Structure 1
Amino acid sequence: MICIQQLNYAYGKKQVLKNIQLDFNENQFSVILGRNGCGKSTLFKLMAGLENIQQGSILYAGRALTQFKGKDKATLLGFLPQFHKTVFPFKVRDVIITGRAAFSRFHPSKEDWKLVDQAMADLDIEHLADRAYTELSGGERQLVMIARILVQSPKIILLDEPTNHLDVYYQSYLMKKLRQLSRQNFTVIAIMHDPNLAFLFADQLFFMRQHEVIQPDPRSKVTDPKFLKSVYDVEFHEAMIQDKTIVVPDHSWL
Protein backbone atom coordinates (compact mmCIF):
# COMPACT_ATOMS: atom_id res chain seq x y z
CA MET A 1 0.00 0.00 0.00
CA ILE A 2 2.81 2.45 0.88
CA CYS A 3 6.34 2.33 -0.44
CA ILE A 4 8.98 4.75 0.87
CA GLN A 5 12.30 4.87 -0.95
CA GLN A 6 15.54 6.76 -0.26
CA LEU A 7 13.74 9.39 1.84
CA ASN A 8 15.95 12.11 3.32
CA TYR A 9 14.82 15.26 5.08
CA ALA A 10 16.52 18.15 6.89
CA TYR A 11 15.46 21.26 8.79
CA GLY A 12 18.11 23.63 7.55
CA LYS A 13 21.42 21.89 8.23
CA LYS A 14 19.91 19.43 10.72
CA GLN A 15 19.31 16.02 9.14
CA VAL A 16 16.22 14.44 10.68
CA LEU A 17 15.57 11.55 8.27
CA LYS A 18 18.33 9.49 6.67
CA ASN A 19 17.76 7.14 3.75
CA ILE A 20 14.37 5.86 4.98
CA GLN A 21 13.12 2.77 3.18
CA LEU A 22 9.84 1.23 4.32
CA ASP A 23 6.99 -0.83 2.92
CA PHE A 24 3.64 -0.91 4.71
CA ASN A 25 1.35 -3.79 3.85
CA GLU A 26 -2.30 -3.27 2.99
CA ASN A 27 -5.00 -3.98 5.60
CA GLN A 28 -2.57 -4.44 8.47
CA PHE A 29 -1.86 -2.61 11.71
CA SER A 30 1.72 -1.32 11.60
CA VAL A 31 3.57 0.51 14.38
CA ILE A 32 6.72 2.64 14.28
CA LEU A 33 8.70 2.70 17.52
CA GLY A 34 11.66 4.74 18.72
CA ARG A 35 12.85 7.38 21.16
CA ASN A 36 11.72 11.00 21.09
CA GLY A 37 13.50 13.04 18.46
CA CYS A 38 14.42 10.12 16.20
CA GLY A 39 12.33 11.44 13.29
CA LYS A 40 9.04 9.56 13.61
CA SER A 41 6.71 12.59 13.58
CA THR A 42 8.60 14.22 10.71
CA LEU A 43 8.18 11.00 8.73
CA PHE A 44 4.43 11.11 9.37
CA LYS A 45 4.20 14.75 8.31
CA LEU A 46 5.81 13.82 5.01
CA MET A 47 3.52 10.82 4.61
CA ALA A 48 0.47 13.03 5.29
CA GLY A 49 1.62 15.71 2.85
CA LEU A 50 2.12 18.34 5.55
CA GLU A 51 5.78 18.78 4.56
CA ASN A 52 7.26 18.74 1.06
CA ILE A 53 9.52 15.84 0.15
CA GLN A 54 13.10 17.03 -0.32
CA GLN A 55 14.69 13.81 -1.52
CA GLY A 56 13.31 10.35 -2.20
CA SER A 57 9.72 9.21 -2.72
CA ILE A 58 6.57 8.11 -0.92
CA LEU A 59 4.14 6.19 -3.13
CA TYR A 60 0.59 5.15 -2.32
CA ALA A 61 -0.35 2.15 -4.47
CA GLY A 62 2.28 3.39 -6.91
CA ARG A 63 1.22 7.06 -6.94
CA ALA A 64 2.63 10.15 -5.22
CA LEU A 65 0.31 11.94 -2.78
CA THR A 66 0.43 15.08 -4.95
CA GLN A 67 -1.48 13.15 -7.62
CA PHE A 68 -4.49 12.87 -5.30
CA LYS A 69 -6.76 15.90 -5.02
CA GLY A 70 -9.84 16.81 -2.97
CA LYS A 71 -12.15 13.84 -2.47
CA ASP A 72 -9.60 11.38 -3.84
CA LYS A 73 -7.07 12.45 -1.21
CA ALA A 74 -9.69 12.30 1.56
CA THR A 75 -10.64 8.73 0.60
CA LEU A 76 -6.98 7.73 0.43
CA LEU A 77 -5.63 9.11 3.69
CA GLY A 78 -6.77 10.13 7.15
CA PHE A 79 -4.29 11.64 9.61
CA LEU A 80 -4.56 12.17 13.36
CA PRO A 81 -1.70 14.38 14.63
CA GLN A 82 -0.20 14.06 18.08
CA PHE A 83 -1.92 17.19 19.39
CA HIS A 84 -5.45 18.38 18.69
CA LYS A 85 -7.44 20.87 20.68
CA THR A 86 -10.92 22.35 20.41
CA VAL A 87 -11.85 25.32 22.56
CA PHE A 88 -15.50 25.51 21.44
CA PRO A 89 -18.03 23.16 23.07
CA PHE A 90 -19.27 21.55 19.85
CA LYS A 91 -21.34 18.39 20.19
CA VAL A 92 -19.50 15.19 19.40
CA ARG A 93 -21.62 14.40 16.33
CA ASP A 94 -20.89 17.91 14.97
CA VAL A 95 -17.16 17.38 15.44
CA ILE A 96 -17.29 14.05 13.63
CA ILE A 97 -19.29 15.38 10.66
CA THR A 98 -16.45 17.80 9.86
CA GLY A 99 -14.62 14.73 8.54
CA ARG A 100 -17.04 14.85 5.59
CA ALA A 101 -16.05 18.42 4.64
CA ALA A 102 -14.20 17.32 1.49
CA PHE A 103 -17.37 15.62 0.25
CA SER A 104 -20.29 17.76 1.41
CA ARG A 105 -18.81 21.23 2.08
CA PHE A 106 -21.27 22.93 4.45
CA HIS A 107 -24.35 20.88 3.54
CA PRO A 108 -24.09 17.34 4.97
CA SER A 109 -26.52 14.87 3.40
CA LYS A 110 -28.49 12.09 5.08
CA GLU A 111 -25.80 9.69 3.89
CA ASP A 112 -23.14 11.81 5.59
CA TRP A 113 -24.99 11.64 8.90
CA LYS A 114 -25.44 7.86 8.47
CA LEU A 115 -21.66 7.59 8.20
CA VAL A 116 -21.34 9.56 11.45
CA ASP A 117 -23.74 7.15 13.19
CA GLN A 118 -21.83 4.17 11.78
CA ALA A 119 -18.45 5.52 12.91
CA MET A 120 -19.76 6.10 16.44
CA ALA A 121 -21.21 2.57 16.47
CA ASP A 122 -17.92 1.08 15.25
CA LEU A 123 -16.08 2.73 18.15
CA ASP A 124 -18.89 2.24 20.71
CA ILE A 125 -19.27 5.95 21.41
CA GLU A 126 -22.92 6.49 20.45
CA HIS A 127 -23.59 7.55 24.04
CA LEU A 128 -21.32 10.55 23.51
CA ALA A 129 -23.17 11.89 20.46
CA ASP A 130 -24.75 14.91 22.17
CA ARG A 131 -21.98 15.57 24.69
CA ALA A 132 -19.78 18.63 24.36
CA TYR A 133 -16.36 17.64 23.01
CA THR A 134 -14.63 19.89 25.56
CA GLU A 135 -16.22 17.93 28.43
CA LEU A 136 -14.82 14.56 27.34
CA SER A 137 -11.90 12.66 28.84
CA GLY A 138 -8.68 12.26 26.88
CA GLY A 139 -9.57 8.73 25.82
CA GLU A 140 -13.06 9.76 24.70
CA ARG A 141 -11.65 12.67 22.68
CA GLN A 142 -9.19 10.36 20.95
CA LEU A 143 -12.01 8.02 19.91
CA VAL A 144 -14.03 10.97 18.60
CA MET A 145 -11.08 12.11 16.48
CA ILE A 146 -10.69 8.61 15.08
CA ALA A 147 -14.41 8.55 14.27
CA ARG A 148 -13.89 11.83 12.44
CA ILE A 149 -11.30 10.07 10.29
CA LEU A 150 -13.52 7.03 9.73
CA VAL A 151 -16.29 9.09 8.12
CA GLN A 152 -13.82 9.93 5.35
CA SER A 153 -13.68 6.18 4.61
CA PRO A 154 -9.93 6.44 3.90
CA LYS A 155 -7.89 3.45 2.81
CA ILE A 156 -5.03 4.52 5.12
CA ILE A 157 -5.15 5.87 8.68
CA LEU A 158 -2.06 7.55 10.17
CA LEU A 159 -2.03 8.06 13.94
CA ASP A 160 0.75 9.94 15.73
CA GLU A 161 0.98 8.59 19.29
CA PRO A 162 -2.71 7.66 19.62
CA THR A 163 -2.28 6.21 23.13
CA ASN A 164 -0.44 9.22 24.51
CA HIS A 165 -1.96 10.51 27.80
CA LEU A 166 -4.52 7.66 27.90
CA ASP A 167 -5.10 5.51 30.96
CA VAL A 168 -4.58 1.74 30.83
CA TYR A 169 -8.22 1.02 29.98
CA TYR A 170 -8.31 3.36 27.00
CA GLN A 171 -4.87 2.26 25.79
CA SER A 172 -6.01 -1.35 25.60
CA TYR A 173 -9.44 -0.44 24.23
CA LEU A 174 -8.01 1.77 21.50
CA MET A 175 -5.40 -0.76 20.43
CA LYS A 176 -8.07 -3.44 20.08
CA LYS A 177 -10.17 -1.07 17.97
CA LEU A 178 -7.23 -0.17 15.72
CA ARG A 179 -6.49 -3.84 15.16
CA GLN A 180 -10.17 -4.44 14.34
CA LEU A 181 -10.12 -1.57 11.82
CA SER A 182 -7.16 -3.16 10.06
CA ARG A 183 -9.37 -6.25 9.63
CA GLN A 184 -12.14 -4.11 8.14
CA ASN A 185 -10.29 -2.96 4.99
CA PHE A 186 -8.27 -0.14 6.60
CA THR A 187 -4.50 0.11 6.59
CA VAL A 188 -3.60 1.49 10.03
CA ILE A 189 -0.15 2.93 10.82
CA ALA A 190 0.72 4.40 14.22
CA ILE A 191 3.67 5.99 15.96
CA MET A 192 4.01 4.71 19.52
CA HIS A 193 6.35 4.77 22.51
CA ASP A 194 5.26 1.63 24.38
CA PRO A 195 6.84 -1.46 22.78
CA ASN A 196 4.67 -3.87 24.75
CA LEU A 197 1.40 -2.49 23.39
CA ALA A 198 2.88 -2.76 19.90
CA PHE A 199 4.08 -6.33 20.50
CA LEU A 200 0.62 -7.36 21.68
CA PHE A 201 -1.49 -5.79 18.93
CA ALA A 202 0.50 -4.84 15.81
CA ASP A 203 1.06 -6.92 12.68
CA GLN A 204 4.17 -5.07 11.51
CA LEU A 205 6.82 -3.38 13.66
CA PHE A 206 9.39 -0.83 12.52
CA PHE A 207 12.07 0.83 14.65
CA MET A 208 13.87 4.15 14.30
CA ARG A 209 17.13 5.28 15.91
CA GLN A 210 18.96 8.53 15.27
CA HIS A 211 16.82 9.38 12.23
CA GLU A 212 17.23 6.00 10.54
CA VAL A 213 15.17 2.83 10.31
CA ILE A 214 16.80 -0.18 11.94
CA GLN A 215 15.63 -3.79 12.17
CA PRO A 216 16.81 -6.69 14.35
CA ASP A 217 19.07 -9.38 13.00
CA PRO A 218 16.91 -11.84 10.99
CA ARG A 219 17.89 -14.55 13.47
CA SER A 220 16.61 -12.48 16.41
CA LYS A 221 13.14 -11.54 17.66
CA VAL A 222 11.94 -7.95 17.91
CA THR A 223 11.76 -8.50 21.66
CA ASP A 224 15.49 -9.28 21.82
CA PRO A 225 16.84 -7.22 24.76
CA LYS A 226 20.09 -6.40 22.97
CA PHE A 227 18.24 -5.03 19.96
CA LEU A 228 15.83 -3.01 22.11
CA LYS A 229 18.74 -1.53 24.03
CA SER A 230 20.13 -0.28 20.69
CA VAL A 231 16.77 1.44 20.07
CA TYR A 232 16.01 2.88 23.52
CA ASP A 233 19.41 2.96 25.29
CA VAL A 234 17.85 1.01 28.17
CA GLU A 235 18.48 -2.56 29.35
CA PHE A 236 15.46 -4.88 29.01
CA HIS A 237 14.41 -8.31 30.25
CA GLU A 238 11.95 -10.56 28.42
CA ALA A 239 8.90 -12.03 30.16
CA MET A 240 6.20 -14.43 28.96
CA ILE A 241 2.52 -13.63 29.61
CA GLN A 242 0.53 -16.66 28.46
CA ASP A 243 1.75 -17.04 24.85
CA LYS A 244 2.92 -13.44 24.44
CA THR A 245 6.39 -12.01 25.03
CA ILE A 246 6.71 -8.61 26.70
CA VAL A 247 9.76 -6.68 27.85
CA VAL A 248 10.53 -5.03 31.19
CA PRO A 249 13.11 -2.24 31.63
CA ASP A 250 15.99 -3.12 33.93
CA HIS A 251 16.02 -0.67 36.85
CA SER A 252 18.93 -2.26 38.69
CA TRP A 253 21.17 0.67 37.76
CA LEU A 254 18.94 3.20 39.59
Structure 2
Amino acid sequence: MSAQAVRAPSMAYPWDGPEPRAALIGCEGLSLRLGGQPVLVDVDLRVHAGEVVALVGPNGAGKSTLLAALAGDLDPEQGRVLLGEHDLSAVPVAERARARAVQVQEARLSFAFRAEEVVRMGRAPWRGTRFAAEDDAVVADALRTSEVEHLAGRLFPTLSGGEKARTAFARAVGQETAVLMLDEPTAALDIRHQERLLAEVRERAAAGVGVVVVLHDLTLAAAYADRIVLLADGRVRADGPPRDVLTAELLTEVYRYPIAVVEHEDSRALVVLPLRDRRSPQKEES
Protein backbone atom coordinates (compact mmCIF):
# COMPACT_ATOMS: atom_id res chain seq x y z
CA MET A 1 0.00 0.00 0.00
CA SER A 2 1.61 3.25 -1.05
CA ALA A 3 1.75 5.98 1.57
CA GLN A 4 -0.47 8.32 -0.42
CA ALA A 5 -3.18 5.64 -0.47
CA VAL A 6 -3.35 5.41 3.32
CA ARG A 7 -6.44 7.05 4.70
CA ALA A 8 -7.94 7.51 8.10
CA PRO A 9 -11.24 5.61 7.87
CA SER A 10 -14.26 7.76 8.59
CA MET A 11 -16.46 5.11 10.14
CA ALA A 12 -17.74 4.94 13.72
CA TYR A 13 -14.41 4.95 15.56
CA PRO A 14 -13.36 5.87 19.07
CA TRP A 15 -11.43 8.74 17.42
CA ASP A 16 -12.17 11.20 14.67
CA GLY A 17 -9.15 11.07 12.53
CA PRO A 18 -6.62 10.14 13.54
CA GLU A 19 -5.22 13.58 14.20
CA PRO A 20 -1.44 14.04 14.42
CA ARG A 21 -0.06 12.62 17.67
CA ALA A 22 -3.48 11.36 18.78
CA ALA A 23 -3.27 8.38 21.16
CA LEU A 24 -4.64 5.49 19.10
CA ILE A 25 -4.10 2.45 21.30
CA GLY A 26 -2.52 1.64 24.62
CA CYS A 27 -2.91 0.23 28.10
CA GLU A 28 -2.89 1.34 31.73
CA GLY A 29 -1.69 -0.82 34.61
CA LEU A 30 -1.96 -3.93 32.45
CA SER A 31 -1.23 -7.20 34.25
CA LEU A 32 -1.90 -10.65 32.87
CA ARG A 33 -1.26 -14.26 33.84
CA LEU A 34 -0.99 -17.32 31.62
CA GLY A 35 -1.06 -20.76 33.18
CA GLY A 36 -1.09 -19.12 36.59
CA GLN A 37 2.22 -17.36 35.92
CA PRO A 38 2.54 -13.57 35.62
CA VAL A 39 3.44 -12.65 32.04
CA LEU A 40 2.77 -8.90 32.10
CA VAL A 41 3.05 -6.76 35.22
CA ASP A 42 1.69 -3.20 35.52
CA VAL A 43 2.42 -2.17 31.92
CA ASP A 44 1.59 1.36 30.75
CA LEU A 45 1.87 2.18 27.05
CA ARG A 46 0.42 4.61 24.51
CA VAL A 47 0.92 4.43 20.75
CA HIS A 48 0.26 7.63 18.82
CA ALA A 49 -0.68 8.41 15.26
CA GLY A 50 2.36 8.65 13.03
CA GLU A 51 4.82 6.72 15.18
CA VAL A 52 6.45 3.30 15.02
CA VAL A 53 6.83 1.64 18.44
CA ALA A 54 9.05 -1.45 18.60
CA LEU A 55 8.57 -3.98 21.40
CA VAL A 56 11.89 -5.68 22.13
CA GLY A 57 13.28 -7.92 24.83
CA PRO A 58 14.53 -11.46 25.47
CA ASN A 59 12.48 -14.60 24.92
CA GLY A 60 9.61 -14.78 27.39
CA ALA A 61 9.73 -11.06 28.16
CA GLY A 62 6.03 -10.64 27.26
CA LYS A 63 6.28 -8.93 23.87
CA SER A 64 3.82 -11.09 21.92
CA THR A 65 1.51 -11.29 24.93
CA LEU A 66 1.42 -7.50 25.17
CA LEU A 67 0.66 -7.23 21.45
CA ALA A 68 -2.16 -9.78 21.79
CA ALA A 69 -3.61 -7.91 24.77
CA LEU A 70 -3.50 -4.60 22.89
CA ALA A 71 -5.28 -6.30 19.98
CA GLY A 72 -8.01 -7.56 22.31
CA ASP A 73 -7.13 -11.23 21.86
CA LEU A 74 -6.22 -11.66 25.53
CA ASP A 75 -8.14 -10.19 28.46
CA PRO A 76 -6.12 -8.41 31.16
CA GLU A 77 -6.31 -9.61 34.74
CA GLN A 78 -5.81 -6.05 35.94
CA GLY A 79 -5.75 -2.68 34.23
CA ARG A 80 -7.32 -1.87 30.91
CA VAL A 81 -6.60 -1.65 27.20
CA LEU A 82 -7.55 1.55 25.41
CA LEU A 83 -8.65 2.16 21.84
CA GLY A 84 -8.42 5.90 21.51
CA GLU A 85 -9.75 7.00 24.89
CA HIS A 86 -12.27 4.15 25.12
CA ASP A 87 -11.91 0.90 27.03
CA LEU A 88 -11.34 -1.77 24.39
CA SER A 89 -13.70 -4.19 26.16
CA ALA A 90 -16.58 -1.81 25.36
CA VAL A 91 -15.75 -1.52 21.65
CA PRO A 92 -17.72 -3.94 19.42
CA VAL A 93 -15.64 -6.57 17.61
CA ALA A 94 -16.55 -5.16 14.18
CA GLU A 95 -15.26 -1.73 15.14
CA ARG A 96 -12.05 -3.21 16.52
CA ALA A 97 -11.46 -4.89 13.16
CA ARG A 98 -11.89 -1.56 11.39
CA ALA A 99 -9.53 0.13 13.82
CA ARG A 100 -6.54 -2.23 14.05
CA ALA A 101 -5.00 -4.91 11.87
CA VAL A 102 -2.83 -7.67 13.31
CA GLN A 103 -0.14 -9.83 11.74
CA VAL A 104 0.58 -12.77 14.03
CA GLN A 105 3.91 -14.60 14.24
CA GLU A 106 2.73 -17.64 12.32
CA ALA A 107 -0.26 -17.54 10.01
CA ARG A 108 -2.27 -20.76 10.28
CA LEU A 109 -5.17 -21.48 7.96
CA SER A 110 -7.60 -24.39 8.21
CA PHE A 111 -8.14 -24.57 4.46
CA ALA A 112 -5.87 -24.22 1.45
CA PHE A 113 -6.75 -20.68 0.38
CA ARG A 114 -4.87 -18.98 -2.42
CA ALA A 115 -2.59 -16.08 -1.52
CA GLU A 116 -4.92 -13.50 -3.04
CA GLU A 117 -7.84 -14.91 -1.04
CA VAL A 118 -5.78 -14.61 2.14
CA VAL A 119 -5.07 -10.95 1.43
CA ARG A 120 -8.73 -10.36 0.57
CA MET A 121 -9.69 -11.63 4.05
CA GLY A 122 -8.32 -8.36 5.36
CA ARG A 123 -11.18 -6.56 3.61
CA ALA A 124 -13.87 -8.45 5.55
CA PRO A 125 -14.39 -5.69 8.16
CA TRP A 126 -15.41 -3.29 5.38
CA ARG A 127 -18.05 -5.58 3.90
CA GLY A 128 -21.36 -3.74 3.63
CA THR A 129 -19.74 -0.30 3.92
CA ARG A 130 -19.04 2.26 1.23
CA PHE A 131 -15.36 1.25 1.36
CA ALA A 132 -16.14 -2.24 0.02
CA ALA A 133 -16.08 -0.78 -3.49
CA GLU A 134 -12.32 -0.29 -3.05
CA ASP A 135 -11.61 -3.98 -2.30
CA ASP A 136 -10.16 -4.99 -5.66
CA ALA A 137 -7.87 -1.97 -5.92
CA VAL A 138 -6.72 -2.25 -2.29
CA VAL A 139 -5.98 -5.99 -2.57
CA ALA A 140 -4.05 -5.49 -5.82
CA ASP A 141 -2.01 -2.68 -4.25
CA ALA A 142 -1.29 -4.72 -1.10
CA LEU A 143 -0.10 -7.69 -3.19
CA ARG A 144 2.14 -5.42 -5.24
CA THR A 145 3.56 -3.54 -2.26
CA SER A 146 4.38 -6.77 -0.40
CA GLU A 147 5.92 -8.25 -3.56
CA VAL A 148 3.62 -11.28 -3.61
CA GLU A 149 1.69 -10.28 -6.71
CA HIS A 150 3.23 -13.20 -8.61
CA LEU A 151 2.04 -15.58 -5.85
CA ALA A 152 -1.62 -14.51 -5.99
CA GLY A 153 -2.79 -17.84 -7.43
CA ARG A 154 -0.60 -20.07 -5.25
CA LEU A 155 -2.10 -22.07 -2.39
CA PHE A 156 -0.98 -20.58 0.92
CA PRO A 157 0.39 -23.86 2.40
CA THR A 158 2.75 -24.21 -0.60
CA LEU A 159 4.46 -20.87 0.08
CA SER A 160 7.84 -20.60 1.77
CA GLY A 161 8.06 -19.11 5.24
CA GLY A 162 9.10 -15.74 3.86
CA GLU A 163 6.36 -15.76 1.23
CA LYS A 164 3.76 -16.57 3.87
CA ALA A 165 5.04 -13.69 6.03
CA ARG A 166 4.83 -11.23 3.13
CA THR A 167 1.34 -12.45 2.26
CA ALA A 168 0.26 -12.03 5.89
CA PHE A 169 1.70 -8.51 5.85
CA ALA A 170 -0.27 -7.76 2.66
CA ARG A 171 -3.42 -8.93 4.40
CA ALA A 172 -2.76 -6.63 7.36
CA VAL A 173 -2.02 -3.51 5.32
CA GLY A 174 -4.94 -4.28 3.01
CA GLN A 175 -7.23 -4.04 6.02
CA GLU A 176 -6.57 -0.28 5.95
CA THR A 177 -6.75 0.51 9.64
CA ALA A 178 -5.46 3.39 11.75
CA VAL A 179 -3.36 0.97 13.85
CA LEU A 180 -1.05 -1.70 12.45
CA MET A 181 0.16 -4.42 14.84
CA LEU A 182 2.93 -6.75 13.68
CA ASP A 183 4.41 -9.69 15.59
CA GLU A 184 7.91 -10.46 14.30
CA PRO A 185 7.05 -9.66 10.66
CA THR A 186 10.68 -9.86 9.55
CA ALA A 187 11.67 -13.15 11.25
CA ALA A 188 11.39 -15.27 8.08
CA LEU A 189 12.56 -12.61 5.62
CA ASP A 190 15.88 -12.07 3.89
CA ILE A 191 17.70 -8.76 4.29
CA ARG A 192 16.15 -7.13 1.23
CA HIS A 193 12.59 -7.99 2.23
CA GLN A 194 13.22 -7.00 5.84
CA GLU A 195 14.28 -3.56 4.70
CA ARG A 196 11.45 -3.17 2.20
CA LEU A 197 8.79 -4.26 4.70
CA LEU A 198 9.99 -1.90 7.41
CA ALA A 199 10.41 0.93 4.92
CA GLU A 200 6.73 0.40 4.03
CA VAL A 201 5.87 0.48 7.72
CA ARG A 202 7.66 3.82 8.03
CA GLU A 203 5.75 5.19 5.03
CA ARG A 204 2.45 4.22 6.57
CA ALA A 205 3.45 5.88 9.84
CA ALA A 206 4.35 9.02 7.89
CA ALA A 207 0.79 8.95 6.54
CA GLY A 208 -0.64 8.90 10.09
CA VAL A 209 -0.88 5.21 10.98
CA GLY A 210 0.21 4.11 14.46
CA VAL A 211 2.42 1.00 14.33
CA VAL A 212 3.33 -1.48 17.07
CA VAL A 213 5.89 -4.07 15.97
CA VAL A 214 7.60 -6.89 17.86
CA LEU A 215 11.22 -7.24 16.73
CA HIS A 216 14.13 -9.41 17.85
CA ASP A 217 16.66 -7.67 15.61
CA LEU A 218 17.71 -4.68 17.71
CA THR A 219 19.61 -3.06 14.85
CA LEU A 220 16.44 -3.08 12.73
CA ALA A 221 14.49 -1.68 15.66
CA ALA A 222 17.03 1.14 16.03
CA ALA A 223 16.83 1.94 12.32
CA TYR A 224 13.06 2.05 11.90
CA ALA A 225 11.37 2.73 15.25
CA ASP A 226 10.60 6.12 16.75
CA ARG A 227 10.33 4.54 20.19
CA ILE A 228 11.71 1.36 21.70
CA VAL A 229 9.85 -0.35 24.55
CA LEU A 230 12.23 -2.79 26.24
CA LEU A 231 10.48 -5.56 28.17
CA ALA A 232 12.01 -7.94 30.68
CA ASP A 233 10.14 -10.43 32.88
CA GLY A 234 6.81 -8.89 31.88
CA ARG A 235 7.75 -5.36 32.91
CA VAL A 236 8.73 -2.28 30.92
CA ARG A 237 12.41 -1.66 31.66
CA ALA A 238 12.73 1.33 29.33
CA ASP A 239 10.59 3.31 26.90
CA GLY A 240 12.05 6.02 24.71
CA PRO A 241 14.03 6.91 21.57
CA PRO A 242 16.38 4.16 20.31
CA ARG A 243 19.54 5.96 21.44
CA ASP A 244 18.19 6.27 24.97
CA VAL A 245 17.04 2.67 25.31
CA LEU A 246 19.56 0.68 23.29
CA THR A 247 22.60 1.15 25.50
CA ALA A 248 25.25 -1.49 25.95
CA GLU A 249 24.89 -1.46 29.73
CA LEU A 250 21.11 -1.90 29.78
CA LEU A 251 21.01 -4.50 26.99
CA THR A 252 23.82 -6.51 28.60
CA GLU A 253 21.86 -6.57 31.85
CA VAL A 254 18.46 -7.44 30.30
CA TYR A 255 19.70 -10.05 27.81
CA ARG A 256 22.25 -11.48 30.28
CA TYR A 257 24.87 -11.52 27.57
CA PRO A 258 27.66 -9.04 26.76
CA ILE A 259 26.44 -6.61 24.10
CA ALA A 260 28.07 -3.66 22.36
CA VAL A 261 26.27 -0.79 20.67
CA VAL A 262 28.29 1.05 18.03
CA GLU A 263 27.56 3.81 15.56
CA HIS A 264 28.18 3.23 11.86
CA GLU A 265 30.78 5.78 10.80
CA ASP A 266 29.01 6.74 7.56
CA SER A 267 25.28 6.46 8.28
CA ARG A 268 25.51 7.07 12.06
CA ALA A 269 23.03 4.19 12.43
CA LEU A 270 23.17 2.21 15.65
CA VAL A 271 24.44 -1.36 15.32
CA VAL A 272 23.84 -3.81 18.18
CA LEU A 273 26.38 -6.60 18.42
CA PRO A 274 26.86 -9.54 20.77
CA LEU A 275 30.43 -9.70 22.06
CA ARG A 276 31.76 -13.10 21.03
CA ASP A 277 34.91 -14.78 22.24
CA ARG A 278 36.47 -16.04 19.02
CA ARG A 279 39.46 -17.67 20.63
CA SER A 280 39.81 -21.30 19.66
CA PRO A 281 39.73 -23.68 22.60
CA GLN A 282 43.22 -24.95 23.33
CA LYS A 283 43.74 -28.62 22.69
CA GLU A 284 44.87 -30.61 25.64
CA GLU A 285 48.32 -32.07 25.26
CA SER A 286 48.34 -35.84 25.02
Which 10-residue stretch deviates more, 221-230 or 164-173?
Answer: 164-173
Whole-Å separation in 2 of the counterparts to 1:39 and 1:150: 24
Task: Mark the CA change 1:115 to 1:250 in structure 2 (over 3 Å): closer, same or farther.
Answer: same
Q: Deviations over 1:187-225 (max 9, x none)?
A: 11111111111001111111001110011799x732321
Question: In the alignment, residue 16 of structure 1 is paired with which amino acid?
Answer: V
Q: Give matches, 1:60-79, under 5 Å.
A: 60-79=83-102
Unpaired segments ≥5 residues, structure 1: none
92, 111, 124: which one aligns with 2:115: 92
Shift in Å, 1:130: 2.5
Cα RMSD (Å) of the superposition?
A: 2.4
Contact 2:52/2:225 (8 A) holds in 1: yes
Shift in Å, 1:20: 0.6
Partner of 2:181: 158
Task: Mark the CA change 1:239 to 1:12 in structure 2 (over 3 Å): closer, same or farther.
Answer: closer
Is the radius of gyration larger for structure 1 or structure 2? 2
1:249 aligns with 2:258: no
Whole-Å separation in 1 of the counterparts to 2:144 and 2:221: 25
Unpaired segments ≥5 residues, structure 2: 1-23, 280-286
Task: Mark the CA change 1:217 to 1:148 in structure 2 (over 3 Å): closer, same or farther.
Answer: closer
Q: Give matches, 1:18-57, under 5 Å.
A: 18-57=41-80
1:208 aligns with 2:231: yes
SS in 2 for 1:221: helix
197, 216, 237: which one aligns with 2:260: 237
Contact 2:257/2:274 (8 A) holds in 1: yes
Partner of 2:20: none
Partner of 1:197: 220
Which 10-residue stretch deviates more, 154-163 or 82-91?
Answer: 82-91
Contact 2:122/2:172 (8 A) holds in 1: yes
Question: In the alignment, residue 247 of structure 1 is paired with which amino acid?
Answer: V
Shift in Å, 1:109: 5.6
Task: Mark the CA change 1:181 to 1:123 in structure 2 (over 3 Å): closer, same or farther.
Answer: farther
Partner of 1:11: 34
Which 10-residue stretch deviates more, 70-79 or 195-204?
Answer: 70-79
SS in 2 for 1:52: coil
Whole-Å separation in 1 of the counterparts to 2:132 and 2:53: 34
Q: Deviations over 1:37-61 (max 9, x none)?
A: 1111211121111111211011121
Shift in Å, 1:87: 6.4
TM-score (normalised: structure 1): 0.89
Task: Mark the CA change 1:3 to 1:47 in structure 2 (over 3 Å): closer, same or farther.
Answer: closer
Q: Deviations over 1:132-152 (max 9, x none)?
A: 323333222212112212222
1:137 aligns with 2:134: no
Whole-Å separation in 1 of the counterparts to 2:217 and 2:48: 22
Q: Give matches, 1:97-116, under 5 Å.
A: 97-104=120-127, 110-116=133-139
SS in 1 for 2:246: coil
Which 10-residue stretch deviates more, 127-136 or 181-190?
Answer: 127-136
Shift in Å, 1:111: 2.8
